[in-house]
Amino acid sequence: MDGVVEGLREDYWSEELVLCDDGENTDLGYPSTAQLPDGTLLTLWYQFRRAPGIASLRWLKWKLD
């Protein structure tokens, strides 16, 4: 899969939670998640683009329901 998968503790989540699966390639990683004051979660990760040498910092704001 060309995307970011969040792994939560087993007692909270029993399956993988796919946050993003629209990656242009598999060169991505180092996701980091923080909880914001309003309770939502913010996940950041880097992802290289198809063009050589171009990378992006991507983010997603989300919450567990």
Whole-angstrom distance, CA of residue 37 vs CA of residue 15:
26
- Digit-by-digit pLDDT tens for the chain (65 residues) are 345 555 555 555 566 777 787 777 777 788 888 899 999 999 998 888 777 778 888 899 998 87
pLDDT at 64: 81
Residue 61 parent element (H or E):
strand 55-62
pLDDT at 28: 77
Q: Model-level pTM? A: 0.68
pLDDT at 42: 93
What residue has token string 């050589």? 52
